[in-house]
Structures are given as structure tokens and as C-alpha cells.
Amino acid sequence: MGRATPSVREKYLQLLNELEAEFVELLRRERREAYIYVKKAWGEELGAVTNYPNPYLLGSLLLVSVLDLEWRLRELERRLRDLEDEVERISSG
């Protein structure tokens, strides 16, 4: 007999299909491009989302998105500091 309740992965794939058909296509090009990276982050953390007890899949995915953006921001800040240090070193030398 088939599974009565869809798995989180099945719900996730259904949610992606709905988002892409009903929402993403309405976005500006740069936002559609950003969606590709958000979707990648979601896929990378689907295990965490699957095991998180919060039943709201989209809310969990949005949390992953916020965390991914924070990580990217911190990485950019670190790289900027490195570049500023390099400029300072070259200017002083």
C-alpha cells in the first residue's frame, strides 16, 4: 500500500514546483537568479529541515535562507577586510 502522508522530500519538491510556477517566474531577472542560489542552499540543508520538528516547511526553508545570507555577508566582510589590509600594506610600503 502507498504512503498516505507525503514525505518531507516530496512536500519539498512539490513546494519548489509551486514556487517556480506561481512565484519565481513573476520576479525580476536578478531575483530569479538569486532564487537559484537560495534553492541550492535549501537543498544542501534539506536534512536539517527534515529533522527539524517545526511542521512549516516554507518557514524552515526561509530560516535556512536567512542563515545562508548571513554566512555570505560575513564571508564578504572578511574578504573586504583582507583586501583593505592588502591595500594598506601596499600603500605603506
pLDDT for res 8: 85
pLDDT for res 1: 61
Domain extent, residue 48, equals 8-92
Whether residue 3 lies inside any domain: the answer is no
CA distances 14 to 19, 21, 39, 73, Å, are 9, 11, 13, 30
- Could you tell me the pLDDT band of residue 88, with boundaries at 50, 70 and 90? very high
pLDDT for res 53: 83
Query: Can you read off the three cell numbers belonging to residue 78?
Result: 572578511
Q: How many CB atoms lie within 10 A of CB 60?
A: 21
User: What is the chain's mean pLDDT, rounded?
Assistant: 89
- Could you tell me the pLDDT band of residue 3, with boundaries at 50, 70 and 90? low
Domain count for the chain, please give it.
Answer: 1
User: pTM of the predicted model, to two decimals?
Assistant: 0.68
Whether residue 14 lies inside any domain: the answer is yes
